Each structure stands twice: as structure tokens, then as C-alpha cells.
Structure 1
Amino acid sequence: MTINKIYSSPADAVADVPDGSSVSIAGFGMTHSFPTSLTVALREQGARELCIVANSLGAGPYRSNTLIENRQVNRLIVSFSARAGAGVSAAEEQIAAGLIDVELVPQGTLVERLRAGGAGIGAFFTRTGVGTAIAEGKEVRTIDGVDHVLEQGLKVDYALIKADRADRFGNLEFGGVGRNFMPSFAKAAKIAIAEVDEIVDGEIDPERVGLPGIFVARVCKSTVDVPHDHLTPKAGRGASSSRTYHGKPAWTREQMAEVAASLVPEPSYMNLGLGIPGLISNYIEGRDITLHSENGVLGYGTIADKENYDPSVYNASGHYVHVNPGASFFESVTSFEMVRGGKVDVVALGAFQVDAKASLANWSTPDMVGGGIGGAMDLVAGDATVMVLMTHLDAAGNAKLVKECDYPLTGQSCVDIVVTDLAVLRWDGTRFKVERIAPGFTPAEVVELTELDLDVSAVS
């Protein structure tokens, strides 16, 4: 019998999804790599009481959030259920109303749970999430002197994924960072359904297969043409603007990024988080610093402008970027192996709070329903130098360098360097020591605007 996994349409491919199914839906950020045609088809098919497993829910009428708006979902297992400053979504409204149960999972743990489920591995121990709300109620075991949290393998009934092309055998080929979550999501599913831009006549060259057809049950061609915008990097109030303290301008976000870049040793592999850290890529050209992104690229460079970009190459912030010589693409499981395995030297993240014990809070605030863990918990659980970039005070004028975090923790005692718009601080093992201050400001002013105790002896 000749193998032929091609379905006539996305609607045919999802026609048998019953009520109560668990469905993993791939996609990165708000708009990238989502199986939009399959998602729209599932919305129109109308299956209810679905458990959606996803990194993020996306935006607009073509992505996972459309199923929530259509009241088809009663459970979420996700890395992002909300995003700070994005307004209240349908997911947040229904979670708050008790209509949807939500389980938040760090991004690296999510793909590893799916990979484990697909590989027949029941559970595993990870350093990610130790000492945070994610570890509550789970077994913690000390291995080689380090605490680890027990996480369960995860299987799903269906997976909806996206690829560039497929053949009738179900073999898939990906472009750029497009493979990110696809392999792990597909492997964990009883029935993996792939939406592709092209179905080749014949077969894909074995050397180009990114996911073997044994993991893919159904293939269909994309039918929904979704426009994509060229995202402009945003860093709070604007990359070139600055806040004022005591009537004087602090460093701009661009200047903060430039200062942070100057602190990175060479050679280094470095991961850049969302927001201000993403601007660092514009200040390392010509230096022996290789940028790593958890969505599956090593060796990217500057932000690409609207006239010259590849829509298949974007960073963790969702911004299109150029790639440098020696760059490589890979799936998210491999990406987090690099992080947790100690191959990444420096991690730069944004934050809501950093406290006197060098602990970090950056995924949820009291006004959010749920939150957005993303890959941050995995990034701080490795052996990398953790650098935080944030404004010195929040929008309401409250200290972000506090005695003790009262927002949910991302990681305990994990921060090594903090770059604010007023100062550079380095952890010395007992407290933060100020190394540099923005022009026009004094140590006394920095201390006044900081809740935790600082050592300013080096700049006094």
C-alpha cells in the first residue's frame, strides 16, 4: 500500500477532533509560525472543552486565542497566558471567571515534557523553577548538590504544527527558525497534523527532512493567507527616550543596551530576552559575541529593517534579524539543552524586581491574571552570568531594586549584574556593588532611589 498522508483541506484534517481533546498548537510570540489554517478550521469545526497546550496564544483571528474567544477551551497548559502591558485578553477574562483552568509551564520545561511524553519517558528532574511557584506541590530532589524539580512527561491527542513543505510520506522541511516547537509538539501527539506552504511532487531530499514522517499523521496545504507586519523593536517608552530623575535625564534604553554590551566578555555565547535586552544586538558588531535565541537560532546579528528582512528569521522578541556567518537553526529542545547544559555564557533579561538576595521576578505582576514565564526560568537555571536590564523605578515611581521581591519569583539568588537607567550594579556574593553611574547623577541620588542596601564605595 502506498503511503499518502495528504488531506484535501485543513477542515478535513481536523474533522474528527472530538470534544474534550487535548490539542497542542505550535507558534512563537504573537504572530510567528502558527498553524493558522488548521486553527481556523478547528474553530469552524466547533469542538468544545478543549485542553490547549501551547507556548503562547498569539493574537488576531487566526491563532490559538481565537478558540478561546469562541468559548471552545476549558484548560490551558502554556508558557504565556498573559503579557504585561498588553491589555486584558479573552484568556485572562475567562481564567478570572473560572471558565478556564490554567497551568503555567516554563518554555524549556514545556518542550522537554512534550519530548519526554513522545519518547516514552514518564518524568524527569530539572533545575528550572526551583524555589518558585512552579515547584509548589512537586517533588524536589537534590542531585549532585543541586535541587531539581520533578516534571511529568506530557502527551496530547492532537498536535497542530506548521512547516514550509511536506511530501506524501509526511516528511517535513522547515525554513529559518520555523522548526522551534514543531518536533516536540508533534512527537507528543497521537495524531500530528502539519499545515504547509507547499506539498512537493515526489519526496523531500532525506538530507533536508527536519521531522521524519513517522511523527506526522496528516498533511494539508495552508489556505488562510495571513498578512504579517514588520515588527519594530519596542523597549518601554522608546529606545531613544529617557526618563528623568530629580529633573535630570537618565540613560536612554539604547544607552543602557550599549553599556550592557560593554560588560560582556569575549568570547561569549549570549542570550537576549524581551524588551531592552533585545537592543544589545545592535552594539556587538565586530566583537566575538555569538547571540543565542531560545526559538532556535545561534549566530544572529542586528535587527533587520523593513526593506531587508527574511520573515523566517526572528529573535525571541519576535523581531526580524540578520544572521551572521556560522549561524545555525535548530528546534527549541536543542536550544534549551544549550542553556541548561551550560553552553550559554551570558543571559540578559528584563525584570519587574530584583531583591537584596539577587533574586529575580519578571513574569507576573499583581494586576495580571496568570503571566508570561517564557524561557526566563530556564535561562536563569543554567550556569550563565545573568544580567538584568530595567529602569530604576517602575512607571508609578516605585523601586524595582527592593529588599525582597513581592512579585512571583523567576529564580532565587541568580542575578549577577543589573544595568538600570541610572547605574551598573554587580553582585559580590553578599550585596550589590555600584560600578558605574549615569552622567550627572551622584551615588547619594542612586541610593535614595533604591530600596535595597547598596555598596557605593567604588564610585564615591
Structure 2
Amino acid sequence: MPQDKIVASASSAVADVPDGASIAIAGFGVTHSFPCTLTVALRKAGPRHLRLVANSLGENELRSISLVENDQVDSLVVSFSGRAGGGTSSAERMVADGRLQLELCPQGTLVERLRAAGAGIGAFFTRTGVNTAIAEGKEVRRLNGVDHVLETALPVDYSLIRGFRGDRFGNIQFRGNGANFMPAFAKAGRVVIVEVDEVVDEIAPEDVDLPGVFVDRVVRTDLTLPVDFIASQRKAPTTRASYDGRPAWSRAEMAEVAADMLPDPSYVNLGLGIPTLISNYIDGRDIQLHAENGILGYGELAPTDDYDKDIFNAAGEYVRLRPGASFFESVESFEMVRGGHIDVVVLGAYEVDAEGSIANWSRPLVGGAIGGAMDLVASGRDVMVMLTHLSSKGRPKLVRKCGLPLTGARCVTSVVTDIAAMRRVDDTYVVERVAPGFTRDDVVRMTDFPLDFA
């Protein structure tokens, strides 16, 4: 019979973490699913020179960023070195100052590297990151006619994750899409510590989401966490640009145009930013929305007075469920994407070029926010990009050649800006709709590559 794995306190659960340890701390976006009680205890325990593996660092003293700000971390392996919702973080400033080493890793590759470590797989080839800065210095091999990048497994000394319920056998149950990164992060750890909301004597076998064989210690959380709505869900999506005194489509109107371009039936992934608003315009459509944090079949954004804290999209926004919805972990979510089971991916971006390449991350020398975008565009299926037509400085975002680091090469199939909607047909962008108040000549003048018109 396995020993009782319930530990009395978070401080005793992390007491043996030594200086120089590698530690994976799960968590999604800015505030979701972080093991906050364990993180606070680890900060108080004070081990130094840590190697921290995380998707994102979160914010404030309850989450992983606090370990960085407390000078306990020497190096990072992350998908987001900045704030997942945008903006420069203290970690990026430390990287720029030479105080912190950084390795950026696409989200799907990150969870696959962790899963591989737990499965005894030393390395694997993936299409994610081909022709981008992520592939530099790595072996690239052509398999089945497609280039793949070699990625190595990512074992760690300790893993800290969060669950809904745990029992004395170490079995863990998740709630909603709270599983997201948890199984992959757990499987990579030599010592796995799980913080849960509820401790019970035994979880029913059919309710176990992470078997106790992967878990060493279970501790009940002793923090009451505030539920914060991110800015994009607190304000109305009526923001719009104005060009030469003429109002462009608002973000909500762009989302409605983009929704009209989606096929029925289809599985559609919505990325951060403007794309998340599409979920408000699919009612009555045979469209299943997918998010890489482990949810399929969600719908419109939930109001701030009626939501479930364990049901959220890839932007961290609380959402409603539609009939047929399901939850799963991030490894399985990216299997759906890379395996070609998701029909359309919709992303925001800084630039799209004439060849159909996309750039939606920046600051490669000091950090950035890769997230899951590189995995999403490697799907081999349709990629729609939503962005304002011009930058805040009045420069075209539809350019002849991307000047920023690529997220993916020659993958974009359609574009929706705040003045036009277009599809890429036979290497040519064909404009299908133009915003009221704008002409074809306006769209041509504000675009840095040739256009055709339907």
C-alpha cells in the first residue's frame, strides 16, 4: 500500500528544495491555475540559483514572477517572459541587464518536452518553429516531405502544480479546464507537489485525472484568491481606429466579419486579443471553438456577474459552454492542432507579409510572448489573422516582407483588418469586403503589397 501522501503544510512540502534546483511551476496566463500557496512557501523558504520552467510567470507576490523578483532564479524556460496579456515584465528587464538567462519555448513544444521527460523519451521532431528563430542551432530534418525541428526532453527536479481535489494516494482531480498544463508539468518532475482546494480520503477511480503514481506530495491550499477579470473582458469591445478622420471597423465589427468567413461545420481555434471576440458571433452556427488551454466547445464571453472561474479561454477570459463541450490537458489540445484536427486558427499579429508569413511576437533578444502561436500555425490548416491595418505610427502592417521575427512562414490563408477582409488565393490576396467609408483605392494605398478584388 502506498504511503499517505498528504502533507500538513506548504512550507514542509517545499522544505527540501535546494539551491540550484530546476523547478517547473504550472499556471496559465496572468492569474489562472497557479499553485499560489506552494509558490509563497517557496519564496519564504528562499532557495537560490533556481532554474524555473513555466508557461507564464503570472503577476504579484502569489505567482512565479515573485521568485524572479526575489532574486531566487538564475534562468528561465518559458513561453511568456512578459506579461501574458501584454507589456514588459520585471523578468525581461532582468534579462536585458544580464541578470537572468532566458530560453523561450513555444507552448505546445514546452508541454511536449515535459511530457517526453516523464515518458522516457529523450527527444522528438516537431513542425513547430521551422523557419523561425526558435529553430536556430537545432537539427532540422525533412520527414514525410515536411521540415521538422529536433527538440529535447525537459526533466526537472521539482514540479509544483494545482488541482481541484486530491486524496491520500496522491490521485488528483481537476475541474473545468484547470487541467491545462498540470499533467505534463507533473510527469517531468522527480518530486511532484500538488496544491488542491479539497483533500479527501479517496477519489473515485473514474474521477481521477492524474494518477497518484505521478504525485509525491499533496497539500491543501491555505489562500483565498481573488477572481480578477482581465482588461479585455471588463471593457466593451468598441475600440476603433480612425484613418484620415474616418472611423474603421470596431474590434467587435471585425470579429463579426471574421465569423462570417468561417466555414460550417468547423473546429476553430481563437488566439489572444481581437480573435476571442469571435465567440460572441457563432450562435446557431455549427462551429466548435477550441482553446489550447484545454477546452473545446465554448461560446460567448461570460458577464462579470455570472461566470465560472474554472472555465476560461486562451486569453484567460471567462466563457460559456455550448452543447458538446469537453475539457482536456494541453498536450492533448496541441495534438488536436498539430494533428490537423482543427480546421481554422485565428490569431492576432504585428505583421503579415506578401508570402503569407506572420510575425506576432517581438523582442527576441530579451524575451517576448510566443505562447502557442507557433504550434497553431504549424497545423497545416487555414490560418486567419486579425489586426489593425496600420500601426499606431501610421505604418502598414500588411508588408512586403516581415521585419519582425517570424511566428510562421507562408501559412496565412486569410486576413481581417479594421478596413478590409481578404483571402490568399494562388499567392495573391483577394479583398472580399471593405469597411464603410473606405474605397478600394484606400485599401491599396494603405497596404504594402499588391491586392486583387473579388
TM-score range, shorter chain: over 0.9
Name the counterpart of 1:387: 384
Structure 2 letter corresponding to 1:450: T
- 2:119 is aligned to 119
AA aligned opposite 1:25? I
Cα 1:37–1:371 shift into 2, 3 Å:
same
Deviation track 1:327-380 (CA, whole Å, cap 9, x = no partner) reads 1100000000000001000110000000111100001158x8310000000000
Over the aligned positions, Cα root-mean-square deviation in angstroms equals: 1.5
Q: For residue 277 of structure 1, what is the aligned residue in structure 2?
A: 275
Counterpart amino acid of residue 221 in structure 1:
R
Question: Are the counterparts in 2 of residues 274 and 316 from structure 1 also a CA contact under 8 Å?
Answer: yes
Aligned to 1:420: 417
Per the TM alignment, residue 35 of structure 1 is displaced from its structure 2 partner at its CA by 0.1
- 1:371 aligned residue (360, 368, 392): 368
Distance 1:104 1:245 in 2: 36
2:81 corresponds to:
81
* 1:211-255 C-alpha deviation (Å, 9 max, x unpaired): 0000000111101222122335359x9621321112111111000
Residue identity (%): 61
Q: For 2:410 and 2:233, how far apart are their aligned partners in 1? A: 28
- Are the counterparts in 2 of residues 170 and 218 from structure 1 also a CA contact under 8 Å? yes
Paired with 1:17 and 1:337, the residues of 2 have a C-alpha distance of: 33
CA-CA distance at 1:87 after TM superposition: 3.9
Q: How many residues align?
A: 454
Give, in whole Å, the separation in 2 of the partners of 1:369 and 1:234: 29
3-state secondary structure, aligned to 1:254: helix
Residues in 2 aligned to 1:396 and 1:238: alpha-carbon distance in whole angstroms: 24
Distance in structure 2 (CA, Å) of the matches to 1:14 and 1:195: 11
**Does 2:235 align with 1:241?**
no
Deviation at 1:426?
Answer: 1.1
- Distance change >3 Å, CA 84–CA 226, structure 1 → 2: closer
| Superposed counterparts of 1:7-406, under 5 Å | 7-83=7-83, 86-200=86-200, 202-233=201-232, 239-365=237-363, 369-406=366-403
Deviation at 1:451, TM superposition (A): 1.3
Q: State the shift of 1:450 in Å.
A: 1.1
| Mapped contact 1:238–1:253 kept (Cα < 8 A) | no
Amino acid at match of 1:346: V
* Whole-Å separation in 1 of the counterparts to 2:121 and 2:229: 40
What is the CA-CA distance between 1:436 and the residue it aligns to? 1.2
User: Which deviations, in whole Å up to 9, do the C-alpha atoms of 1:411-433 show, x marking residues without a partner?
Assistant: 00000000000101111132212
In structure 1, give the amino acid aligned to 2:309. Answer: P
Q: What code does the residue aligned with 1:428 have? A: V
SS in 2 for 1:233: helix
> Cα 1:356–1:293, aligned 2, differ >3 Å: closer, same or farther?
same
**1:240, 1:281 → 2: CA distance?**
16
- Deviating more after overlay: 87-96 vs 238-247: 238-247
SS in 1 for 2:232: coil
Cα separation, 2, equivalents of 1:187 and 1:71: 27
User: SS at the partner of 1:98?
Assistant: coil
Whether the 8 Å CA contact 2:59–2:83 is kept in 1: the answer is no
Q: Cα offset for 1:86?
A: 4.2
Deviation, structure 1 residue 84: 8.2
Q: What letter is aligned with 1:197?
A: D
Say if 2:26 and 2:54, in contact at 8 Å, map to a contact too.
Answer: yes
What TM-score does the superposition give when structure 1 sets the normalisation length? 0.96
| Runs (5+) with no aligned partner, structure 1 | none
On the 8 A contact 1:57/1:65 being kept in 2, the answer is yes
Do the aligned partners of 2:85 and 2:315 also contact (CA within 8 Å) in 1?
A: no
Contact persistence 2:29–2:85 (CA under 8 A): no
8 Å contact 2:380–2:411 — kept in the other structure? no
User: How far apart, in 1, do the equivalents of 2:226 and 2:305 lie?
Assistant: 16
Work out whether residues 294 and 336 of structure 1, in 8 Å CA contact, stay in contact via their aligned partners in 2: yes
Match of 1:439 in 2: 436
Runs of 4+ in 1 over 2 A off after TM superposition: 83-88, 230-235
Return the alpha-carbon distance in structure 2 between the equivalents of residues 47 and 206 of structure 1: 37
- CA displacement, residues 293-349 of structure 1 (integer Å, 9 cap, x when unaligned): 100001011101122111000000000001111111000000000000010001100
CA contact (8 A) 1:111 1:184 kept: yes
Residue-by-residue CA offset, 1:82-130 (whole Å, 9 max, x unaligned) = 2488443210111011111110010000000000011000100000000
The residue type paired with residue 348 of structure 2 is: G
Partners in 2 of 1:121 and 1:225 — Cα distance? 38
Q: Compared with structure 1, are the counterparts of its residues 2 and 28 closer, same or farther at alpha carbon in structure 2 (3 Å cutoff)?
A: closer
The CA distance in 2 between the partners of 1:398 and 1:115, in whole Å, is 42
2:77 and 2:16 map into 1 onto residues whose CA distance is: 22
Separation in 2 of the partners of 1:21 and 1:280?
43
Q: TM-score, normalised by structure 2?
A: 0.98
**Most deviating of 81-90 and 30-39:** 81-90
Q: Which amino acid aligns with 1:429?
A: D
| Kept in 2: contact 1:345–1:383 (CA 8 A) | no
Structure 1 partner of 2:445 = 448
